Amino acid sequence: MDAAPRSTADLLAPVLRRPREARDVGGEPLGAAVGACPRGPGPCQTPRAMTLKETMAELERLGSPQTRKTFLRHGAPEPLSGVNFGPLTALKKRIGTDSVLARALWATGHAEARLLATMVVDAPALSWAELDTWAKQLDWYALTDVFVTNVVLSSPHAVKALEWTRSPAEWLGRAGWQTLSSLLAKTQLLEAEDLRPWVKRIEQELPTAKNRVRDAMNRALINLGGTGGALQGAALATAKRLGRVDVDHGDTACETPDATQAIHKLQARKEAQAARKPARAQNPARKEASAARTPARKQGQAAQKPARKEARVAKKPARKAPVSVATKRTTGATEKPSRKAPVATKRKTSTEGKPSRKATTAKRPAAPRRARARA
């Protein structure tokens, strides 16, 4: 009977392997960017790609029991190592963009490996078929939200991904509604769209939707109301009719936001941001006039530069020309005494004019002692 694998990396290493040309050469240290270069002497100029086995071993090393417990409480599936998002982001910076590694990480089914895959994949290069395949393999809410933020919004298929809102599957449906919410909050791709049908759909479908889909639909309703105008009124009316949205967040401290309050807060924050902007940025006519004046202003400044320079030169006093020795002799100019002459004179006068200290200092006569009174 074979021995049990010692770690998650040992279990998952044979699942997918990198191509032969991307494997490590000579057993360099993990993710080494500088050191003995396998292509020749001297340091490597480009980082060597990490293999799947190396990446899984690093995830195992970065994991912690406490984070593992937290992820399990939030519904993360096994296997997982317990790697928080901070170390995952640092590991992502070391790897860079590597779609080959991302596909291998995703295929493992490992919780943190899939989170890391969304960070290192070249999202704009993904086809719709591959994006749709990944979306159908989502298995918990945190991965779904990270997948939408890191992959879907960066792909050219973000608007097409709204089709997922029709899916009866919990995670795929959540991905569709999260995409709608993120497109409204972070992009302008839906500005020209008529968004009123989305408000009607939320009112009709939210009461019977699955748990995590209700959460995503509630957030989408908040962002629909945050667009302002007539749509805000429709969203507020829908939120009032729906009332409190119940979502089971498990053994966590997460809470479902109240849609009505959240819409008012979002609108107030947008108004405050607009008020802080300078009036010049809000007035396009003034901005165009300023842009039209800029070339003329620059030409005027360039024309004034020579005149200003001449004025500065005229203000400066003329420097005295240096007088040569020959000119001094012909004009009868006397040369200045050297510095040594007055010093010697001072010493001479100081010694001759003043009496020495010994001559002036005379001994004072001793004071007479008082006669002691005899008894």
108 within 8 A of 59, measured Cβ to Cβ: no
Residue 247 sits at the vertex; the CA angle it makes with 246 and 251, to the nearest 5 degrees, is 130
**Number of residues that make up the chain:** 375
Estimate to the nearest angstrom the gap between the alpha carbon of 267 and the chain centroid.
Answer: 26
Q: So where are the chain's domains?
A: 49-121, 142-276
**Which band of pLDDT confidence, cut at 50, 70 and 90, is reported for residue 45?**
very low
Stretch 34-51: mean pLDDT: 52
**Mean pLDDT score across all residues of the chain:** 78
CA distance 218 to 233: 16
Q: Is the dihedral of CA 157, 163, 165, 169 positive or negative?
A: negative
Measured CA distances, 122 to 94, 127, 145, 245, 301 (Å): 15, 11, 18, 36, 49
In 74-110, which residue ranges form alpha helices assigned H by DSSP?
Answer: 85-95, 99-108
Please write the tens of the pLDDT for every residue from 64-116: 999 999 999 999 999 999 999 999 999 999 999 999 999 999 999 999 999 99
Evaluate if residue 303 carries a pLDDT over 50: yes
Stretch 18-46: mean pLDDT: 40
CB neighbours of residue 149 within 10 Å: 15
- Greater pLDDT, 65 or 35: 65
Please write the tens of the pLDDT for every residue from 304-316: 777 777 777 777 6
- 3-state SS, one letter per residue, for 220-265: HHHHHHCCCHHHHHHHHHHHHHHCCCCCCCCCCCCCCCCHHHHHHH
For the ranges 38-42, 81-85, 267-271, the lowest mean pLDDT is seen at: 38-42
For the ranges 9-13, 133-137, 201-205, 340-344, the lowest mean pLDDT is seen at: 9-13
First-to-last CA distance in the chain? 130
CB neighbours of residue 185 within 10 Å: 14
pLDDT of residue 322: 62
CA distance 105 to 51: 10
- Tokens for 128, please give them: 């719709």
Q: Is the dihedral of CA 88, 139, 245, 193 positive or negative?
A: positive
75 within 8 A of 141, measured Cβ to Cβ: yes
